[in-house]
Amino acid sequence: MDGGAQPSSPPEPPGTGGAEREGAASPPHGPGLGPGERDAGEGPPAADVKRSQPLFIHAGSRKPAPEEPRASSLPCIPNPFPELCSPSNSPILSSPPGGQGPPREGASHVVKVFSEDGACRSLEASAGTTARQLCEMLVRRAHALHDHSWALVELHQHLALERCLEDHESVVEVQGTWPLGADSRFVFRKNFAKYELFKSNGQSLFPEVMVSSCLEANKSMAHSELIQNFLNSGSCPEVQGFLHLREAGRKVWKRFYFSLRRSGLYYSTKGTSKDPRHLQYLADLTESNIYYVTQGKKHYGTPTEFGFCIKPYKVRSGTKGLKLLCSEDEQSRTCWMAAFRLFKYGMQLYRNYQQAQARLSQPPWIGPTPLRSVSDNALVAMDFSGCTGRVIENPSEVLTAALEEAQAWRKTTHRYSLPAACQSSPLSAAIHRTQPWFHGRISREDTQRLIGRQGLVDGVFLVRESQRNPKGFVLSLCHLQKVKHYLILPSEEEGRLYFTMDDGQTRFADLIQLVEFHQINRGILPCKLRHYCTCVAL
- Strand 253-261 vs strand 150-156: parallel, antiparallel, or unpaired? unpaired
Q: Which residues contact 32 (CB under 8 A, 6 or more apart)?
A: none
CA distance 533 to 55: 83
Angle CA 172–173–176, to nearest 5: 85
DSSP 130: B
CA distance 243 to 448: 24
- Strand 460-465 vs strand 531-532: parallel, antiparallel, or unpaired? parallel
CA distance 198 to 223: 9
Angle CA 345–338–456, to nearest 5: 135
- pLDDT, residue 364, reads 52
Q: Taking the model in full, what pTM does it have?
A: 0.68
CA distance 158 to 182: 8
- pLDDT, residue 225, reads 79
**Helix and strand numbers, DSSP H then E, in the chain:** 12, 21
- pLDDT, residue 360, reads 77
CA distance 38 to 24: 18
Structural domains in the chain, CATH included, are: 108-190 (3.10.20.90), 196-358 (2.30.29.30), 395-409+423-532 (3.30.505.10)
Angle CA 90–97–324, to nearest 5: 140
Q: CA torsion angle for 445, 448, 450, 453 (degrees, to 10)?
A: -130
Long-range contacts of 511-518 (CB under 8 A, 24+ apart): 511/431, 511/432, 511/435, 511/438, 511/463, 511/473, 512/410, 512/431, 512/432, 512/435, 513/403, 513/406, 513/407, 514/475, 514/488, 515/435, 515/437, 515/463, 516/403, 516/406, 517/403
CA distance 256 to 265: 12
- pLDDT, residue 191, reads 93
- pLDDT, residue 80, reads 59
- pLDDT tens track, the chain, 538 positions: 444 444 444 444 444 444 444 444 444 444 444 444 444 444 455 455 555 555 554 544 455 544 444 444 455 566 655 545 544 444 433 344 444 555 665 578 999 999 988 889 999 999 899 999 999 999 988 888 878 899 999 999 999 999 999 999 999 999 999 988 888 999 999 999 999 888 865 456 888 888 887 666 556 677 787 888 888 866 678 899 999 999 877 889 999 999 999 889 999 999 999 999 999 999 988 889 999 999 899 999 999 999 999 999 888 777 788 999 999 999 999 999 999 999 999 899 999 999 988 887 765 544 433 333 333 334 556 665 655 566 666 666 766 666 565 555 444 333 333 343 333 345 555 778 889 899 999 999 999 999 999 999 999 999 999 988 888 999 999 999 899 999 999 988 877 888 999 988 889 988 999 999 999 999 999 999 999 998 887 7
What Cα–Cα distance (Å) separates residue 271 from each residue in 126, 242, 274, 327? Answer: 50, 10, 9, 17
Query: Nearest-CA neighbor of 332 among 193, 200, 460, 207?
Result: 207
- pLDDT, residue 37, reads 45
